Structure 1
Amino acid sequence: MNNGYVSEAGGVTFNSVQETHQSLCGAVFAYNDQEIRLWSASGTYNVYVACAKDGWGSEEPQETSATVHIQAWVLCTKQFTKTHMLNMKAATAVDTVPFDTVYSLDTTLVSVQMKVLESNNEGFIFYAGGSAMIDTSSDPFGALIYAYTESEVFLWRPDSSVSHGYLVYLGGQWGGANQGQQSTFVEVTVRVIELAGSPCSESNSCTPNWASLTSTCSSTDCPIPVNIPNAQMVYTGVTNGSSTLYACAYGYTPNNNDSLVHCVDGTWTTSTMSCTVPPIVSVQTSMYVNQTIEERIKEIKKELTVDKKTTSSYTRSLISVYDPRPSSVAIGSCGVGLLCLAVLLLLLPDVINVLKYLCDKQNKDNN
């Protein structure tokens, strides 16, 4: 308002025609998932967008014009919602809607909404009110009044015997008869909003969804980190806030120091690091090789493989080396003697036969 105060619009109307002894004050709003509609009272006198007069206090503030501020929320909080159809012509004028549990009033908001099901404002939602200001006049009015405790909501509606009472009414001087509404049957939604908690688990984040005017839960866990070719990685987990550290394998060098990534709301931050083989320089030429780890290992194995027949140990195994120690000389001498004895034993019969043959031949020659 012009005096700096803020007066909230509502969803109920208690008077529809301005009279000499009473003013017509306030603004009415309703909304759907596409737009918000506003109604104010039309007329030439005692008509205001906000006021408190005709017996309400002594200051009697009144404004015929004001700046409209529209604020909308999709809260990421725990909510209990219960919807039912409400017919003003039902037998009882009071309904009770129980909650699913007992809520603390210190951290809980309760609202009651009415969705119009027909006519000019079909699908639009009006808020119920928390008080009634109806005198004995015959002005048409529309209202659903509610109050609540920690465990339930009480709803009051106009008595079915009142012919000029409605659950939602827009007529008379409200809106200059534009988008008028007279509803005795609406869809009522009781909503309990627990501000102290989230509707999502610890591993999920809450995201407002303006298309459906609801909130959705999405996982904040990240997938397994991606592999960087020729690099090893160590990660602390996949929950929100976790980290992954990359390091190039032996023989490879990184192109930069961008080796650390983080899990943020279900997605890993990106790394531009890559691992390549450094330049290999020879005496005659220089070349750059880009190989996989397996190819490089095979090449190194081939370069390091040595033919055992070209080794000095293999050569020495074929040569007898002189050993001057007495024990070695004695063992060698015995070995040589045993070998000679064995050869002599093998040749002795043949030697005897040869000598016998020679003796016999000489005797024959002498005779």
Structure 2
Amino acid sequence: MKWDVSLFLLRFIHLTVDDVYGWNKPSFISNWYPIESQNSENSSLTVTHSLGELPAKVDIQIKVVIDGVDYIFTGIGSAQRDNDIAHDYGGVVYIYNNAEVILSLPFGGADSGGVAYTGSHLDYNGPSSPVQGKHNNGFVRVKAWKQADFPTPLFEKAVQISDDETDSFKEINHQSSVLPDLVTAQTRLDGGYYSDGQGVIFQMTTLSSSNCIGGLLFGYSETKVRLWVPYQKPLNDNDCNGAVFFQHDGWGRNPFVSNNGTVVLKGYKLDENLVFETTVRVEDKISSQDIVYPSLYNTDHALVTVQVKHDANGGNNQGMIFDGAGTALSTNTKYSGVIYVYTNSSILLWTPSSLKGYMVFINNRWGSGQMHSAETSADVIVRVYAVIECPNPTSLNSNYTISNGLRVGSVVTYSCYSGYIYTSGYLSRTCQSNRRWDGTDPICSQMQCLHPDGIANGTYVFTGKSVGDTVKYTCNVHCQYEAGDLERTCQLGGYWDGISPVCSVIKCADPGGVFNATYSVAGFAPGNTVTYTCVAGSMHQAGDSTRVCQLNGSWNGIPIVCYTAAGSTNFNPVFYSPQELAESIEKTKTELTVDKKTTSSYARTLVCATDPRPSSLHIGTGGIALLSSMLAAVILPDMIIFIRHIRHMSNIYRRQK
């Protein structure tokens, strides 16, 4: 077979901000577990998932590390063969329910099973790669998506199927009229476990009734889904010689065979999350080139699919799509399908090369031969789905919040730290489909204070205008500090603490005149002088005729003393300081103060004085007579009534006796 390069289509999907995303990263990703084939004691592994529901999709990744490169194979939904045939094979079979995933590894028989296999070079052609061949050791992990991680299905159908010859083929019209990007075929088995359908046949039939064959093959188109199961031959006493699912005879510690089940079909459109797609036309041989991605993809979150599309111009399954396989389990019978292995940077494909190999193959054993196919040419469609995400936002001197994670359309909103102010860039940015935030990072600069205010009669120096910087003030020469703050600090709010200082000019008071002298003042600032001159006829006896204004606002020296020449007595002037003068005045006031109660006038106010004048006698006598008359007029009527009352009471008393 060959790849027709002229039909090699490579396209990138660019999404718009308005796209609505219905597909998310897997809700559960397990750790990597070391695995080894041909070890019966460790041939099963149970991984408990945390979804709390049946997964909508399970992806089993088998990792083989070569020269530091992680090569990823994919698990398979059913063992299609047992270990009886000495023909190399590999893979990890899995089933799952709403709580766990059970993995089964090959062991025993001809010891020909590995954990992963790209297929024999006699059976498959593909790129020359270190990963080509069978691998007995590796690592495995489970990725599982909730139903809420997927968009609403285009359709959802359920159908019963079994290994009975008359019940081993089903065709379902899904009626969506849209070609899904992905179809899941989850078969409910005995015990409540589920297995996933496959798109390849590795074993056409069994060579002996003691051999096992099983699995669910499915393909789909715009209108329908078809299902095939290898039927159980009549009078066969081996229940795995034809089954819907089996892990038996060399697969895992606990054999499990299911001969019937209910298949739940769901179709999805995932093109909104499509980040890479290439379609390759395969004819008769494969190229030696692998397919390199345009950028690195995170294998933790991405979903890689490889599908084979049946030609639309012939055969029973025109235009139908079948899934490729992530490992090879072929025997020496006829087989079909594409094997794929991927890394974070490329994907490698192997296609059937021998006369027994087909791109699409369905024979009489599968589905009783209904809608059989044997196609050697087909289109191979490779897709990578991922949640388009922007990197974590960067921030400098700011905090940020994100509205909806790192996906396209999410908005990051920044706010500057306290003490910082937004100066440029974008405070709100949106994640674009090119995995970049629009706009530019915001710049938050440290908040600065205004230039310090100058002051009268002073100067200042400052270390800067950023938070924590200081400004220091100094009063000029001949000036003195009166109020405010001589040192101020720039605060977070962009202001200087405290208040501006006040510096006032130092001045001396008017020195005043002196008896028998005149004076002239040159000024009142420090250094200025006042000069005294005794008037004519007077002489300078003491004190300073010239006094200088000092820095403390006082005049030096002492006042001048001038005396007249006619005076025959010399005297020594006494000089008081302002405080001494005030104390002397207060003492004098105390000594000169007289208590008024000790005066004769106060004493006379307390004693009545005799008035010898006749008029005084007459006025006094008249006043007494008047007062006596007024008193008698008030009291006399009451006295009469009182006397009568006494008499009356006395009469009453005598009668009673």
So what's the TM-score if we normalise by structure 2? 0.29
Change in Cα spacing, 1:91 to 1:38, as seen in structure 2 (3 Å) is closer
Change in Cα spacing, 1:181 to 1:84, as seen in structure 2 (3 Å) is same
Change in Cα spacing, 1:106 to 1:91, as seen in structure 2 (3 Å) is closer
Cα-to-partner distance string for 1:261-301 (whole Å, 9 max, x where unaligned): xxxxxxxxxxxxxxxxxxxxxxxxxxxxxxxxxxxxxxxxx
Residue 22 of structure 1 aligns to a residue whose secondary structure is coil
Matches within 5 A, 1:136-151: 137=332, 139-151=333-345
The equivalent residue for 1:122 is 318
Check if 1:30 corresponds to 2:219. yes
Decide whether the 8 Å contact of 1:13 with 1:169 is kept in 2. yes
Change in Cα spacing, 1:115 to 1:95, as seen in structure 2 (3 Å) is farther
Shift of 1:24: 1.1
Change in Cα spacing, 1:91 to 1:81, as seen in structure 2 (3 Å) is closer
The equivalent residue for 1:351 is none
Shift of 1:78: 4.0
Residue 120 of structure 1 aligns to a residue whose secondary structure is coil
Decide whether the 8 Å contact of 2:308 with 2:337 is kept in 1. no
Residue 67 of structure 1 aligns to a residue whose secondary structure is strand
Tell which has more relative contact order, 1 or 2 (C-alpha 8 A, sep 6+): 1
Q: Point out where structure 2 has 5 or more consecutive residues left out of the alignment.
A: 1-188, 391-406, 411-657
The equivalent residue for 1:70 is 265
Shift of 1:201: 6.3
Residue 41 of structure 1 aligns to a residue whose secondary structure is coil
The equivalent residue for 2:363 is 171
Say which of 61, 71, 90 aligns to 2:285.
90
**Corresponding letter in the other structure for 2:255:** E
Q: Point out where structure 1 has 5 or more consecutive residues left out of the alignment.
A: 204-367
Distance in 2 between residues matched to 1:157 and 1:174, nearest whole Å: 21
Decide whether the 8 Å contact of 2:286 with 2:351 is kept in 1. no
Change in Cα spacing, 1:50 to 1:95, as seen in structure 2 (3 Å) is farther
**Corresponding letter in the other structure for 2:345:** S
Check if 1:81 corresponds to 2:277. yes
Cα-to-partner distance string for 1:138-168 (whole Å, 9 max, x where unaligned): x211121001001111001122xx2111121
Say which of 234, 240, 250 aligns to 1:55.
250
Residue 25 of structure 1 aligns to a residue whose secondary structure is coil
Matches within 5 A, 1:212-361: none
Say which of 305, 319, 324 aligns to 1:111.
305
Decide whether the 8 Å contact of 2:217 with 2:227 is kept in 1. yes
The equivalent residue for 1:189 is 381
Say which of 202, 211, 214 aligns to 1:14.
202
The equivalent residue for 2:193 is 5
Decide whether the 8 Å contact of 1:31 with 1:125 is kept in 2. yes
Change in Cα spacing, 1:153 to 1:23, as seen in structure 2 (3 Å) is same
Residue 176 of structure 1 aligns to a residue whose secondary structure is helix
Higher helix share: 1
Change in Cα spacing, 1:95 to 1:126, as seen in structure 2 (3 Å) is farther
Distance in 1 between residues matched to 2:293 and 2:232, nearest whole Å: 43
- Which segments of structure 1 move beyond 6 Å, counting only runs of 4 or more? none
Decide whether the 8 Å contact of 1:109 with 1:195 is kept in 2. no
Decide whether the 8 Å contact of 2:388 with 2:408 is kept in 1. no
The equivalent residue for 1:100 is 294
Residue 104 of structure 1 aligns to a residue whose secondary structure is coil
Shift of 1:95: 4.9
Q: Percent identity over the alignment? A: 29
Distance in 2 between residues matched to 1:193 and 1:22, nearest whole Å: 38
Residue 147 of structure 1 aligns to a residue whose secondary structure is strand
So what's the TM-score if we normalise by structure 1? 0.51
Distance in 1 between residues matched to 2:386 and 2:290, nearest whole Å: 20
Distance in 2 between residues matched to 1:127 and 1:16, nearest whole Å: 17
Shift of 1:58: 3.0
Decide whether the 8 Å contact of 1:25 with 1:51 is kept in 2. yes
Distance in 1 between residues matched to 2:350 and 2:231, nearest whole Å: 28
Shift of 1:55: 1.2
